[in-house]
Amino acid sequence: MKENVEQLQAQEGLETPGVTNAVPKGFSNIAVFPSKGDSEMEQAKATAKKLNIPFVDPLNASIEPDALALLDRDVAKRRQVVPIRLVNDILLVAMASPEECIAVKSLELLTGYKIRPAAAPKSAIYAALREVYDKHPDSQEGLTPTEEKEPQKDEDEAFTISVISNKGGVGKTHFSINLTCSLAKTGAKVLLIDADLGSADISNKLSIFPEHHLLDFLEKDKEMEDLVVSTGFGFDLICGTYGEFKLANLYYAQKVKFIKHFQRIAKNYDFAVFDLGAGIARTVLDFALGAGCTVIVTTPQDLISGYACIKASFSRFKELEEKLEGRLSGYEPHLTFSPMMVINQVKDLEQGIKLYDTICKTADENVNADEGRFSVRPEYLGAIPYDKENIRMVEEKKKPLLFDAPYSKVSQCIKHMSKRFCDPDASFDPRVKFKHSFKRFAAILTQKM
């Protein structure tokens, strides 16, 4: 790796316009807060110095077609990046937000190369994007990379996260909103879906009441694209509605319709967060278990209910895996159910860990001890301290807590949790790998099981 960095620096050259020559000692997720009087150029240079990474002016840098061809034009514009050059499997990329881990990680997934981030002024990036990509209106047409890479279709769609609880009042929707907000703050494109069709709780909490909602799509002739609204908080939203109709009432044709349309719009996002209705109805569990990650929210006061949610989810998990194995040729069943636990409203973080240990011990004694092939191994996503005052404040203002009080303890805890979806190394269990599996999501929802 050191040799690669040295070769990359040597190829950049001491006289290369727009590129600094500092040798990076590593990359860390450090926020930079320059003064308001600084220009964009000065801000980018300050970021480069703070993170110990190169500074690049993409308008003056020599951009190689081979590097440019590795990233689709629309993706580059959305992420505010410009590929500069490729040397020995290391891709130098000018970035408006190089401090964001998810931005770097997603670029590595999309290009298949190790990314060396470089700080750059945002306006210069936009100008360079217009200049270099507009020469190739069909994204990569006319570019000739030295090595054609096989497209990774699964990575074109959003990684799905479902959030459930066995009862209301545990903070599930607040968590969904703020997790979405935190992911969006990293530079990811995120879609939040209020999948509780009977309450429209997200609409209430954010004071967003669009003309069309999810029920219009399921029961009327509306496209899913018509439902997506921008929230002004950095993420998009599909709202639920009021009424007696529940997610549990979805019939087979509606599930097939949902999957077909969701797969299409999911290509525009990095993450999709489903805020599911409280309870353990079968369709709710199917949505939860079909997602790339299932998050269960509970509180110290409702720990028994939280455990019951784990147990019911595990029971449905086993049933689904056995049926998928029997019906889909070559399907390898998941033998371990690992929901991610969030303990909300704790008095301190130590209490959250102790309660999580209690849940794991109870699951081992009452479920795993009697199971042979399958097992349930909850993961610890984190705990959230009780903060009634700040929650009440944001409910009055109709804003996410991370948007209005980003430095509160609650916000910091949720921000830390969101890193688990961006950086596998942040996981307590190194076996946890957040790989998108949309085919499994579709199989669970569209099989008559």
* pLDDT (tens digit per residue) in 255-283: 777 887 888 888 889 899 999 888 888 87
Distance of CA 60 to CAs 56, 63, 132, 135, Å? 8, 9, 12, 17
pLDDT for residue 152: 37
Kindly tell me if the per-residue pLDDT of 156 is higher than 60: no
What residues form DSSP beta bridges with 91? 86, 115
Max mean pLDDT among 196-200, 294-298, 435-439 falls in 294-298
pLDDT for residue 352: 93
| Interacting residues of 101 by C-beta distance below 8 A, sequence separation 6+ | 29, 186, 419, 422, 423
Ramachandran region of residue 363, left (φ > 0), alpha (ψ -120 to 50) or beta?
alpha
Kindly compute the dihedral angle of the four CA atoms of residues 307, 313, 316, 318, in this order, to the nearest 10 degrees: -80
Q: What is the mean pLDDT of residues 4-19?
A: 40
pLDDT for residue 440: 62
Give residue for tokens 């210069």: 124
Kindly tell me if the per-residue pLDDT of 153 is higher than 80: no
pLDDT band at 222 (very low <50, low <70, confident <90, very high): confident
Kindly tell me if the per-residue pLDDT of 34 is higher than 70: no
Q: What is the mean pLDDT of residues 390-394?
A: 91
Yes or no: say if 442 and 263 are a contact pair by the CB < 8 Å rule. Answer: yes
pLDDT for residue 131: 82
Query: In a 3-state reduction of DSSP, which class is residue 94?
Result: strand
Q: What is the mean pLDDT of residues 347-355?
A: 92
Q: Which domains does the chain have, with CATH numbers?
A: 2-151 (3.30.300.160), 157-446 (3.40.50.300)
Question: Could you give the angle at the alpha carbon of 50 between the alpha carbons of 45 and 54, nearest 5°?
Answer: 50
DSSP of 333-380, one letter per residue?
---EE-PEEEEEEESSHHHHHHHHHHHHHHHHHHTGGG-SS-EE--EE
pLDDT for residue 332: 84
From the number of C-beta atoms within 10 Å of its C-beta (0-12, 13-18, 19+), residue 140 rates as: middle
- Torsional sign, CA 151, 153, 158, 161: negative
What spatial distance separates the first Cα and last Cα of the chain, rounded to whole Å?
Answer: 50
Give residue for tokens 């269960």: 296
Give residue for tokens 């799509």: 217
Kindly tell me if the per-residue pLDDT of 429 is higher than 60: no
